[in-house]
Structure 1
Amino acid sequence: MTVIILTACPPGLRGHLTQWLLEISAGVYVGHISARVRRRLWARVKDLAGPGRALIVYQIPGEQRLSFEAHDHHWTPEDFDGITLIRRPANPVFNPAMPSGWSNAARRRRYGRRQQPTRRPASE
C-alpha cells in the first residue's frame, strides 16, 4: 500500500494522482501500485509540487515494514541503525516562561496571570 500526502500543492498535481490512487481526504491519496509506478509517480510529485510539500509512505520488507520520504518538508526522515525516524526541527526561540504547545489558558493558570472578568453593575 502507498500513501501520498500533499499540502499546498497545485490542483493539476492532485488531478494527476487521482489517475493512480484514491483520494480519501483532501490531499491524502492511497492505493496499491507497483514499485516502478511508485518511483515514477514520486518523481512526478516532486517535479509538480511547486511551493507545496509532499510525503510518501510505502511498504518494504524489513523491521519497520514501511519507508517514507519527504519533499520540501520541515520534518525529515533519517536512518538510525536501520530504523527510519522523523527529525523535527528544533524550536528556534526557547522561552521557558512559555513552553511551546501550551494553550494561553494553561499558561495563565500556571503562571497566575489570570484575568478577572469584569462585572456590570446591577441595573436598578
Structure 2
Amino acid sequence: MLVIVLENAPDRLRGRLAVWLLEVRAGVYVGDYSVKVREMIIQNIVEGLEEGNAVILWKCPNEAGFDFITLGENRRIPKEMDGIKLISFLPDTTN
C-alpha cells in the first residue's frame, strides 16, 4: 500500500501521479506497487514538487506496519526514537 499527500503541488505533478495512483481526495493518492515502482514515483515527486510539500507512506514490516518520508518545506519533521519514527513540530514562523 502506498499513500501520498501533496500540498501546494503543481498541477502537472498531480496529473502525473493520477496516471499511477487513485486520487481519493484533492492531493491524496493511494495505490499498491512494488518497491521499484514506488521509488520511481518518489523520484517523480522529488523532481516535480517545486514549492510544495509531500508525505509519502508505505506498508513496511516493522513495529508500526508502515514507513514514511516527508519532502519539501513543512513544520512536521520525522524523528526516530527507540526505533520508532515519530513526528516533531518546528516552531511556527508565520508571525
Which whole-Å CA distance do the structure 2 matches of 1:91 and 1:47 have between them? 27
Give the superposition deviation at 1:15: 0.7
Q: Tell me, which stretches of 5 or more residues in structure 2 are unaligned? A: none
Q: Helix, strand or coil for the counterpart of 1:24?
A: strand
Residue in 2 that maps onto 1:57:
57
CA displacement at 1:90 relative to structure 2: 2.9
Q: Does 1:74 align with 2:78?
A: no
**In 2, Cα distance between equivalents of 1:57 and 1:20:** 15
Code of the residue aligned with 1:87 in structure 2: it is: S
Identity percentage over the alignment?
Answer: 37
1:1-124 equivalences in 2 (<5 Å): 1-72=1-72, 73-91=74-92
Amino acid at match of 1:78: K
Q: Give 1 or 2: higher strand fraction.
A: 2
In structure 1, list runs of 5 or more residues that go unmatched.
93-124
Q: TM-score, normalised by structure 1?
A: 0.71
Shift of residue 91 of structure 1? Answer: 4.7
In structure 2, the CA distance between the partners of 1:81 and 1:47, relative to structure 1 (3 Å rule), is same
Higher-RCO chain (CA-CA 8 Å, sequence separation at least 6): 2
| Counterpart Cα distance in 1 of 2:79 and 2:38 | 20
Note if contact 2:75-2:92 (Cα within 8 Å) is conserved in structure 1: no
Q: TM-score, length-normalised on structure 2?
A: 0.91
Does the CA contact (< 8 Å) of 2:56 and 2:70 recur in 1?
A: yes
C-alpha deviation, 1:74, in angstroms: 1.9
- Count, aligned residues: 93
**RMSD across aligned positions (CA):** 1.4
**Structure 1 runs, 4 residues or longer, greater than 4 Å off:** none
